[in-house]
Amino acid sequence: MDQRARRLLSALPALAAALVLLSAVWTQPSPVVVEEVVEYGVRGRFVLVNRHNVTLNDFVYIALPQNTSFQESYVVRVEPPLLRLVKDEDGNVMGVVRVVAKPGEKVAVDVEYRVVVRGYRIRVDLARGEWPPLSVAERYTSKTAYWNTYNLTLVGLAYSAAYADSPLETASRLASWVLPRISYTVNLGRAGSDRALIRTFGGYAVRGDCVEVADVYVTMARALGLPARTAYGVLLTSYSQRMWLNMSTVGEEGEALLQHWGGHMWPQVYIPPYGWVDVDMLDGMSPNVGVYSARHIVFGVEETKYYGSALTSSCIPSYLDLEYVEYEFRGVRR
């Protein structure tokens, strides 16, 4: 037997061991299971009005459906045509169009997208989750304009309700604490966590709509060292739906607004190995930590930059006023 053959034979045990390890990796189940896939055709229209006494040549920023781990988005058409795509500080991609409007004139921006959404569920039996590295925690646990992590009341409540060794257990306990304390009411502005948490005769409550619920959850999660942010977009009641928003009447509609508008905001927490985990307590009024339906369409996330509320974030003019928003969603389950 020559020297080359001896070397080959001596390497066989190591090769066999490597194959066993690779086989274990290949057959290891994923900690995230995709439960549904829905492809949407989306058409939208934004009506803008010039309430100034001069002709305006305005740049309008359009929120686009984002590309995420569970969403694929394609721009089919924008009219007027896109001038460019821009990315904000939080990584959200927006389209920029230019419109010209005379005094009192109304102009429309029409959009069309194709979006594929994957509803998922995390496998908590496969991974308890790990606390993220310091660099991630520093970025996503700091105090911001709407998330006051120095509020001693919120900090104290967070520790008493949700402190745990596992980040996944922390996220779950926190969702279970917030959920029964939601006092839902449509809020046209944004209260922030300081004003959304109120003291009642029955104890603490979270008063507001999806924005306030998300703000309180994110603030308390950050106070516990759990990286958190908000996602915004729409939550559909069915795969095919039309929704609209008349900015001149929203102040009078109150709860009736929910009958024709599905703008939405919800928290996300960062937990390795899952990554960003959605926590939408208002989807079916359940904790929903890592249980995400394909009826969500993400138009952006908030980490450091804020767009006011889920009402106006879809179209942001520079000088014109947004008067009307309309979307039509046509979804087909794959």
pLDDT at 309: 52
Query: Pairing state of beta strands 203-208 and 182-184?
Result: parallel
Domain ranges for the chain, please list them.
119-333
| Mean per-residue pLDDT, 213-234 | 96
Cis link prior to 65 (omega < 30° from 0)? Answer: no
| Mean per-residue pLDDT, 255-274 | 93
pLDDT reading at 258 higher than 50: yes
3-state secondary structure the chain: CCHHHHHHHHHHHHHHHHHHHHHHHHHCCCCEEEEEEEEEEEEEEEEEECCCCCCEEEEEEEECCCCECCEEEEEEEEECCCCEEEECCCCCEEEEEEEEECCCCEEEEEEEEEEEEEEEEECCCCCCCCCCCHHHHHHHCCCCCCCCCCCHHHHHHHHHHHCCCCHHHHHHHHHHHHHHHEEECCCCCCCHHHHHEEEECCEEEEEECHHHHHHHHHHHHHHCCCCEEEEEEEECCCCEEEEEEECCCHHHHHHHHHHCCCEEEEEEEEECCCEEEEECCCCCCCCCECEECCCEEEEEEECCCCCCCCCCCCEEECCCEEEEEEEEEEEEEC
What is the distance between the alpha carbons of residues 81 and 70, in angstroms, rounded to a whole number? 28
pLDDT reading at 306 higher than 50: yes
pLDDT reading at 80 higher than 70: yes
Q: Using an 8 Å Cβ cutoff, are 206 and 178 in contact?
A: yes
pLDDT reading at 29 higher than 90: no
| Mean per-residue pLDDT, 242-269 | 90
Q: 238-247: buried (b, 16+ CB within 10 Å) or exposed (e) per residue?
A: ebebebebbb
pLDDT reading at 92 higher than 60: yes
Q: Identify the band that residue 248 occupies on the pLDDT scale cut at 50, 70 and 90.
A: confident
Nearest to 31 by CA among 83, 77, 69, 62: 69
Q: Identify the band that residue 187 occupies on the pLDDT scale cut at 50, 70 and 90.
A: confident
Strand partners, 74: 114
pLDDT at 233: 94
Q: Identify the band that residue 126 occupies on the pLDDT scale cut at 50, 70 and 90.
A: confident
Q: Which residue has the higher pLDDT, 189 or 82?
A: 82
Q: Identify the band that residue 312 occupies on the pLDDT scale cut at 50, 70 and 90.
A: low
| Mean per-residue pLDDT, 18-40 | 73
Lowest mean pLDDT among 4-13, 87-96, 184-193, 284-293: 4-13
Q: Which residue has the higher pLDDT, 90 or 6?
A: 90
Polymer length in residues for the chain: 334
119-333 folds as C8orf32 fold (3.10.620)
pLDDT at 12: 54
Lowest mean pLDDT among 14-28, 59-73, 283-297: 14-28
pLDDT at 1: 55
Q: Using an 8 Å Cβ cutoff, are 44 and 304 in contact?
A: no
Q: Using an 8 Å Cβ cutoff, are 248 and 323 in contact?
A: yes
Q: Which residue has the higher pLDDT, 309 or 91?
A: 91
pLDDT reading at 78 higher than 50: yes
Q: Identify the band that residue 25 occupies on the pLDDT scale cut at 50, 70 and 90.
A: very low
pLDDT reading at 314 higher than 70: yes
Q: Identify the band that residue 40 occupies on the pLDDT scale cut at 50, 70 and 90.
A: very high
Q: Which residue has the higher pLDDT, 21 or 208?
A: 208
Average pLDDT score over the chain: 90
Backbone torsion region of residue 183, taken as left when φ is above 0, otherwise alpha when ψ lies between -120 and 50, otherwise beta: beta
Q: Please give the share of the chain, as a percent, with pLDDT higher than 90.
A: 78
